[in-house]
Every structure is written in structure tokens, then in C-alpha cells.
Amino acid sequence: MNKKIWLSSPHMGGTEQRYVQEAFDTNWVAPLGPNVNGFEQDLETYLNQNVFVGALSSGTAAIHLGLIILGVKAGNEVICQSMTFSASANPIKYQCATPIFIDSEAETWNMCPKALEEAIIDRIAKGKKPKAIIPVHLYGMPFNAEAILEVANKYQIPVLEDSAEALGSTYKNQKCGTFGDIGVLSFNGNKIITTSGGGALVAKTREIKDKAVFFATQSRDNAPHYQHSEIGYNYRMSNIVAGIGRGQMEVLDKHIALRRAMHDFYLTYFKDIKGVKVFTEPNTDYFSNHWLTAILVNPEQTGGKTREDLRLALDSENIESRPLWKPMHLQPIFANDPYYGGTISETLFNNGLCLPSGSNLTNEDRDRIKLTLDKFFRE
């Protein structure tokens, strides 16, 4: 059997183990220490927007704490992009609040600003003003930050920006993760950089970062004994995995360039394949890290070949590919929650496929992918 080609797999730069070794050598084997502080500083410098970063155990934890800090409580409503990974929406349920799902726009595949405003107007008319908005930069593609923030500001609703897939992406030269009142990053195993598992909350003030770290470390009051006035969580990042993060930061921009080269490889390949469209930046305001390159397959123009046919053809050659995120409003678990918009995200889901996009793919891997695509589309 051929070696497996993954959609997106961890890609170490080489210095990660040095930082981890340092943690062992100095016995900082705990959810605090020099690597945690250093990784936070690296991220703050990289985001370059006067932000304060709190390193956490996962992106999901960052979304959960973000909602708590924004005051989301039982019975509240929170607006969320429908087309996303379920981790964007699950923390709304942790708070016993109701997600209000919004369709995508065709250009960015992210939250449609028009459907967002319709939803806000209708929810307010029904008697409940949404407490927060969670837009997502899907596959690294920035959402239309200008339009989304304009609606959010008009109705004075805070934005919790899910930038889990978009570290290094920019919109109008501003880094993703710095647009919302609170931003969220993820360092899970398949993301643009990884700490094996981890995440971060990006705050606009030191107070908010400190509050996040307070909640993440069991909400201990300032007392010699263990005293608690608020419910706490165990969400802080370990000093061991933060060492991996410090090493990964050294190669982040190099790995983004490699992902973008993978994207160019697909753009070139599909230029003359009828019925296949590569998802790419709508204009130069957008710069995607191209965490994953995705395509849309239109069976009416490919002689009936569907994205599922292609997925199976790649799979038979041991090449991983994956349908787009199934929209949340179509998920059994969220079936009873309100949804605003049309069928854009549903159509994207039906026709879209993510292709191998890792920064560690080799020329040999690309040759195998190309051969398999040739066999599928040209024979």
C-alpha cells in the first residue's frame, strides 16, 4: 500500500524539542511556566495589534471562556456561523444558551452580513437581543470583517472571532484573531501550527486576558487558602506543550508559504478542468493562510462525476480528502435551533471537498495526487 497522504498533518520545525527539554531540565512540568509566557509573547508579537494572549488547553476552551466573559448565560441567544466545525457552536450549549445559525455568503463561504442583520432584527423583534456573534474564518479565509463588524457595531453586539483555522491570515493587512472583541486560536494536531492540542484567547485589554486566565485556573480568589467566588475551569495550557508552540512559531510564516504553494498547485491543476472551482481569495483585501484548499465539483459540468466520486477515487489511492464542514443547522444535535439564510452553505457542503494541504507534502506526494486526479478527470 502507498504511504498515506493526509489532509493536514503536524509539521515540526526542529526546535520544538529543545523548548520541551528546557521545561524538563528546569522542572516546569505544570500548566504555567516560561514556555507558556514565551508562547503568549510570541503570539502577541506576531498578531501585532496591541493584544493580550492567554494560552489555553484548546480552542474550544477559548470559545467557552470568551462566551463567559461576554456574559452569555442560560436562556441567552448567541449568533453563530452555520458552516463551521461544531466546536464553534458547542460552547453556546455549555452555557445553556441558544445558538442562532446564519448562512454563508458565496464569496468567502463565511457568515453572510445580510443574513446576520436579518437575524438580529428578527430576534430583537421576538424579544431577545443576541448576546454575541461568532463568525469564523473558514479554512483560513477571512470573513468580510468590515461588513460583519459594521452590523455588530450598529446593534452593539460583541464579536467572538473564531480564528481557529486562520492564524497568519489577514484582512486589509490586519491579522485574523484581532478583529473581534475577543479572538480565538487553535493549535490542535491538524491546524496551521500545533502544540498537539491547545488554543488561545486573544483579548483587547490586559484585564480581559487576566480574567480568562483566572477562569482557566479554577477561579481562585486572592487568599492563602483555596477560596472561590465564581465557577472555575481547568483550561490553562501546559508548559510542556507551550514549548512545542514556541518552536512552531519559528516556522509559522514558512509553513504558510508552503500551504499557499499547495493552493497554487491546485489552482494551476484545475485551471483547465471543467466543472471544478478552487476556493480562493475574492480580492486583494483577503490573504488566506490556505490552511486547507477546497474545491467545488459541479457534476453538471464534469460529466456526472461528483465530489463523493472524487473522494472515493482519492481514498482508493490512500489519499485523504474530506467533504466541507456540514452546516450546523443541518446537524441532528442543532436541528431545533433557529436558522437564518438560504441554501448557500448547504450547496457548498453538497459539492465541496477539502484536498491534501499540509506544509509537509513532498513533490512525490504532489505527483501522486496529480496522477490520481488525471485518472479521475481525464480518463
First-residue to last-residue Cα distance in the chain: 23
- The CB-of-134 to ligand PLP minimum distance in angstroms stands at 9
For residue 248, state whether it binds ligand PLP (rule: CB under 6 A).
no
Among 161, 162, 181, 346, binds ligand PLP (CB under 6 A): 162
Give the interface segment with ligand PLP, choosing from 7-15, 57-65, 245-253, 264-272 (CB under 6 A). Answer: 57-65
- The CB-of-37 to ligand PLP minimum distance in angstroms stands at 20
Cell of 92: 453556546
**Is 261 in contact with 289 (CB distance < 8 Å)?**
no
Whose Cβ is closer to ligand PLP: residue 60's or residue 95's?
60
Whose Cβ is closer to ligand PLP: residue 248's or residue 302's?
248
For residue 165, state whether it binds ligand PLP (rule: CB under 6 A).
yes
Whose Cβ is closer to ligand PLP: residue 199's or residue 247's?
199
Measured CA to CA, the distance from residue 60 to residue 196 in angstroms comes to 14
For residue 186, state whether it binds ligand PLP (rule: CB under 6 A).
yes
Close Cβ partners of 90 (under 8 Å, ≥ 6 residues apart): 60
For residue 60, state whether it binds ligand PLP (rule: CB under 6 A).
yes
For residue 85, state whether it binds ligand PLP (rule: CB under 6 A).
yes
- The CB-of-343 to ligand PLP minimum distance in angstroms stands at 21
- The CB-of-84 to ligand PLP minimum distance in angstroms stands at 5
Close Cβ partners of 203 (under 8 Å, ≥ 6 residues apart): 51, 52, 53, 54, 182, 183, 209, 212
For residue 199, state whether it binds ligand PLP (rule: CB under 6 A).
yes
Q: What is the DSSP track for 74-121?
A: TT-EEEEESSS-GGGTHHHHHTT-EEEEEPBPTTTSSB-HHHHHHHHH
Among 58, 76, 288, 359, binds ligand PLP (CB under 6 A): 58
- The CB-of-291 to ligand PLP minimum distance in angstroms stands at 9
In the chain, the amino acid numbered 117 is E
Cα torsion through 58, 140, 306, 299, rounded to 10? 150
What's the burial of 298, exposed, middle or buried (CB within 10 Å: 0-12/13-18/19+)?
Answer: middle
Whose Cβ is closer to ligand PLP: residue 116's or residue 373's?
116
Longest Cα separation, the chain: 73
For residue 348, state whether it binds ligand PLP (rule: CB under 6 A).
no
- The CB-of-197 to ligand PLP minimum distance in angstroms stands at 6
For residue 113, state whether it binds ligand PLP (rule: CB under 6 A).
no
Residue 319: strand pairing partners? 5
Whose Cβ is closer to ligand PLP: residue 69's or residue 136's?
136
Residue 184: strand pairing partners? 162, 201
- The CB-of-43 to ligand PLP minimum distance in angstroms stands at 14
| Residues at the site binding ligand PLP, with contacts judged by CB under 6 A | 58-60, 84-85, 87-88, 136, 162, 164-165, 186, 188, 199
